[in-house]
Amino acid sequence: MILLLRKGRTVAISNDPQKVYAELGRQAEARAELREIIEFHRAVLEIQLQVFAPTPAIEFGADQVRASVEAGIPLLSPEVIVVPNDAFAALYNAICSLVATYRPELADEVKALRKTSANEQQVARKGWLLSANGQNGAVSDLERFMLVNTWRPFLWPYAITLAPLIEDEQWYRGQCPVCGGEPDLAALVDEGQRWLLCSRCDTEWRYRRIGCPFCNNTDHRKLVYYTGESPVYRLYVCETCRRYLKAVDQREHWQRRPLPVERILTIGMDVAAVEAGYT
């Protein structure tokens, strides 16, 4: 239904959530060391799927899309998106409960965050802003996780509709052309083209091969990457803005998993990057 993975000349959303869910199930079986973390994320996805409505409430004309993209403006803004407040708050609280179940040591922190959802619109707006600019130091990692994951299923239908309308050579920016979110994973494909995965709506879009999508730094002396045990994965860090980006090399890889699955399989790299002082 949704797969348009890098064929043709449009950006894409490769994350048919049902396929991601199934693949996470296979990975949980195959990787004992990651089973617990995968099962947690699979449980989050399960409740996200319950609110996922594949038909977006708005329609964009091709002209409107072209004009926005040419001007470098992401297509979505909070004014355009229709998110039912009660559904948003219900999902937010359901994710709170899951976190408290899987990570009992975070229960108190979760409890405090749950209270903040009393003002549903404010929480939703906060989540939108922090995902779009990434620089929100006032928000803990836990709150960020919950806000991003609450927004995600509400953005999927827009991404599925809009991403195929954008030509991949038109954008080349560090933020998502659909929702303006930041990338949290990169993939090298084919002859080395680099695609980025939106941390928020799971759109994939093409970006320059070299350069930091967060600060646009292209000085190769300030860009470093590390490889781990598997040569397929790399951790790129930017010494200019101190941000990091995980990457998966899918050029030779016989099995290309959906990038939202790779996002979860590489959580160890997030831990390593944060411990090394990158955000």
Residues interacting with Zn ion, by CB under 5 A? Answer: 176, 178-179, 181, 198, 200-201, 203, 212, 214-215, 217, 238, 240-241
Rounded to whole angstroms, the Cα distance separating 253 from 228 reads 16
Compute CA 246 distance to the chain's CA centroid, rounded to the nearest angstrom.
Answer: 12
Nearer to Zn ion, 93 or 240 (CB): 240
DSSP 8-state assignment for residue 77:
-
Residue 205 φ then ψ, to 5° = -140, 155
Nearer to Zn ion, 109 or 239 (CB): 239
The span from the CA of 190 to the CA of 182, in Å, is: 23
Taking the complex as a whole, the smallest distance from the CB of residue 48 to Zn ion amounts, in Å, to 15
Angle 197-202-207 (CA atoms, 0-180°, nearest 5)?
A: 30
List of residues 6+ apart from 2 with CB closer than 8 A: 13, 14, 15, 16, 160
- How many other β-carbons are positioned within 10 Å of the β-carbon of residue 75? 24
For Zn ion, which is the closer residue by CB, 139 or 241? Answer: 241
| CB 24 to Zn ion: min, Å | 20
Rounded Cα distance between 64 and 14, Å, is: 23
Query: Residue 29 or 219: which CB sits closer to Zn ion?
Result: 219
Smallest distance, Å, CB 61 to Zn ion? 20
Q: DSSP assignment, residue 57? A: S
Please, which residue, 69 or 96, has the CB nearer to Zn ion?
Answer: 69
Least CB distance to Zn ion at residue 214 (A): 5
Least Å from the CB of residue 272 to Zn ion: 18
- Between CA 2 and CA 25 the distance in angstroms is 20
Looking at the Cβ atoms of 170 and 217, the one nearer to Zn ion is 217
Tokens 């973390």 map to which residue?
A: 37
Of 27 and 217, nearer to Zn ion (C-beta) is: 217
The angle at the Cα of 267, spanning 265 to 269, to the nearest 5 degrees, equals 110
| Smallest distance from Zn ion to CB 82, Å | 17
Residue 51 CB, shortest distance to Zn ion, in Å, is 17
Helix axes 141-162, 35-51, angle to 10 degrees: 50
